[in-house]
């Protein structure tokens, strides 16, 4: 089984306006909503690829009900911890001449709720996959990922960590199967300016020396680079279509990479499927669909 963790899921409410004028009533041209959170995005893409997953996390209130009901399907099981107070957050994404975001805080998560999450983690068995993605809410201990990894360190599972700075670096001693920094995050980890392919390769190898098994660096419009656990470099470009939405592209890449590896046990194919999934999300208003993924696979 594949398990994903989303500590602070959301409903992303996207409103489109011809222009945003402060101080008056603005009316939308169109609007959409999506169920968000990095781990949830991974689960939804895995479902498109016909792989089952279980989504862990915390939900609260009527918005939490909507998130849980909205993502539950034959291939996405939910095992959220319900909090007694508060509301799962709503993030407002305003698309006008300029883009503006208003992100909610989400509910407070106490120690009892965290203990319940650990109890769910104990169900993970040898051969399973765990995806830890995103930041840790302010109401939770900032070493939560480390505590999860420490709890699971004696199990033979594949762990992917998609986080930034200290969260990512502190996970390396547990030898995660996959980490996915982007170029900026790689620069921030080592406090350097990374501008060349040689720089990316050099610092990816450094992360492997620090404990990562595979380092996947997303490069936006330049594609992606993978340094695998055997020290081999793999590169993937991008397809050229109109970019509509970049939110969730990195999560889609993680999901595609994991799916590709589980299906073929080949890192070149894993990178290809991951890149295609990331591209497919970028070319659609929401997350990638199976139809778009299949279309792009023929071109990649």
For residue 2, give Cα distances in angstroms to 29, 89, 159. 39, 25, 10
- What's the sign of the alpha-carbon dihedral 280, 286, 292, 293? positive
- What secondary structure letter does DSSP report for 136? P
Residues 254 and 38: their CA atoms lie apart, in Å, by: 10
Phi-psi region of 76 (alpha: psi -120 to 50; beta: other; left: phi over 0): beta
154 is catalytic: no
Residue with tokens 């101080």: 23
Kind of pairing, strands 10-16 and 30-36? antiparallel
Length of the chain, in residues: 300
Number of other residues whose CB lies within 10 A of the CB of residue 118: 13
The active-site residue out of 12, 162, 228, 251 is: 251
Residue with tokens 């900026």: 184
Could you tell me the two tokens for 263?
């299906």
**Which residues are known catalytic residues?**
251
């Amino acid at each position: 089984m594949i398990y994903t963790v989303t500590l602070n899921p959301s409903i992303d409410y996207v409103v489109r306006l011809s222009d945003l004028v402060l101080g008056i009533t603005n009316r939308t041209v169109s609007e959409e909503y999506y169920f968000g959170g990095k781990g949830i995005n991974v689960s939804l893409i895995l479902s498109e690829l016909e792989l089952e997953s279980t989504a862990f996390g915390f939900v609260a209130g009527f918005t939490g009900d909507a998130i849980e009901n909205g993502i539950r399907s034959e291939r996405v099981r939910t095992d959220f911890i319900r909090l007694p107070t508060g509301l799962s957050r709503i993030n407002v994404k305003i698309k006008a001449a300029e883009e503006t975001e208003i992100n909610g805080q989400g509910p407070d998560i106490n120690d009892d709720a965290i203990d319940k999450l650990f109890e769910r983690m104990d169900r993970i068995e040898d051969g399973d996959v765990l995806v830890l993605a995103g930041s840790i809410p302010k109401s939770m201990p900032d070493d939560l990922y480390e505590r999860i990894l420490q709890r699971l360190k004696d199990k033979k599972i594949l762990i992917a960590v998609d986080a930034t700075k200290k969260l990512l670096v502190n996970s390396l001693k547990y030898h995660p199967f996959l980490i996915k920094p982007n170029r900026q995050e790689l620069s921030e980890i080592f406090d350097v300016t990374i501008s060349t392919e040689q720089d990316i390769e050099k610092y990816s190898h450094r992360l492997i020396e620090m404990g990562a098994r595979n380092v996947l660096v997303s490069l936006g419009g330049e594609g992606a680079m993978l340094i695998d656990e055997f020290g081999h470099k793999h590169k993937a470009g991008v397809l050229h279509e109109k970019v509509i939405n970049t939110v969730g592209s990195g999560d889609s890449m993680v999901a595609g990479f994991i799916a590709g590896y589980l299906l073929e046990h080949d890192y070149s194919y894993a990178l290809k499927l991951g890149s295609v999934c990331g591209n497919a999300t970028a070319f659609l208003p929401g997350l990638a669909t199976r139809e778009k993924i299949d279309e792009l696979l023929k071109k990649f």
